[in-house]
Amino acid sequence: MTVSVMTNTVKTGVEAGVATLTLNRAKEMNSFDADTARAIVEAVEGFAADASVRVLVVAGEGPAFSAGGDFNWVLTWPGLDAITRRVGADALMGAIQAIYDFPKPSIARVHGAAVGGGVGVMLACDFAVAASKARFGLTSARNGLLAGIAIPVLIEAVGPRVARQLLMHGGLFDAATALRIGLVDQVVEADALDATVATLARELMLGAPSVQTLVKKLITEIDAMPHDAHAADLLGEHVANQCVTEEALEGMSAFLEKRRPKWAL
């Protein structure tokens, strides 16, 4: 079953367990403003609540993945009061956080350019697959701005040293460099991009949904903890509990019976 919805800022659809969120401001290079940010949050929350959705793909319409924040919108900020400016900044941060917190696997399908906050959108996903001619950059410093919405996920992806370098330099770089520094996970020719993303989505749907959700939750929690007995206690509790869930029993039975588990679409 295919379900599609389009607004002025995003397009959404669900087909065979794969939800797609496409930034829909091609003329603006899929830069985003408060309306776009709110649309992203609404779409992602809807997909999270939809049991038929197993994987989320985030993409961009037109020639680019995303150019980040919309300068035409940000240029109105000096005429706004501090509270309203903060509301705008929080909307952008909220969109990145919603994608990052999505409880199911997510994939960024990257073509054209991913710049500034667009890199943040990409890195909020669990996987990033890029076309070989895609270009990347944390260019905000060259515009007198701070790419704040990208910083937390950037540090997680490439580490603090490389994050500092990218944010201070502000230049563009190619997909090969993005792959080398860990910014993306796969680089393929443009004509293979959709097939590669589709294959990865199918592979992810072989995993048990409850385990994938638990992994995303635990990795974040444990990464913030000291590597001591507290982490071991937390993991021990979850391992013991997961072993008696319906999905665990189904998965083990399917393995022994040499068949696919029920969740593997």
pLDDT at 3: 52
Q: Looking at domain 2-204, which of 3.40.50.300, 3.90.226.10, 1.20.1730.10, 3.30.70.100 is its CATH number?
A: 3.90.226.10
Q: Are 186 and 129 in contact (CB under 8 A)?
A: yes
Position with higher pLDDT, 88 vs 174: 174
CA 177 – CA 166 distance, rounded (Å): 12
Torsion of Cα atoms, 12 then 47 then 156 then 108, to 10°: -30
Average pLDDT of the chain to the nearest whole number: 90
pLDDT at 240: 72
Q: Which residues of 37-62 are buried (b: 16+ CB within 10 A; e: fewer)?
A: bbbbbebbeebbeeeebbbbbbbbbb
Average pLDDT over residues 179-194: 98
**Starting from the edge strand earliest in sequence, which strands make up the sheet with 10-15, in order?**
2-6, 10-15, 18-23, 55-60, 106-110, 127-131, 186-188
The answer for residues whose C-beta is within 8 angstroms of residue 57's C-beta and 6 or more apart is 18, 19, 20, 21, 106, 107, 108, 109, 197, 201
SS3 3: strand
10 Å CB burial of residue 104 (0-12, 13-18, 19+) is buried
> Taking the CB of residue 196, how many other CB atoms lie within 10 A of it?
18
pLDDT at 1: 44
pLDDT at 85 over 50: yes
Q: What ranges do the domains of the chain cover?
A: 2-204, 209-256
Helical segments of 52-81, H only: 71-74
Distance (Å) of CA 227 to CA 20, 186, 223: 37, 30, 8
Question: Residue 52: pLDDT band by 50, 70, 90 thresholds?
Answer: very high
Distance (Å) of CA 95 to CA 41, 79, 101: 5, 24, 10
Question: Residue 4: pLDDT band by 50, 70, 90 thresholds?
Answer: low
Q: Are 57 and 21 in contact (CB under 8 A)?
A: yes
SS3 184: coil
Global pTM value? 0.90
Average pLDDT over residues 53-76: 93
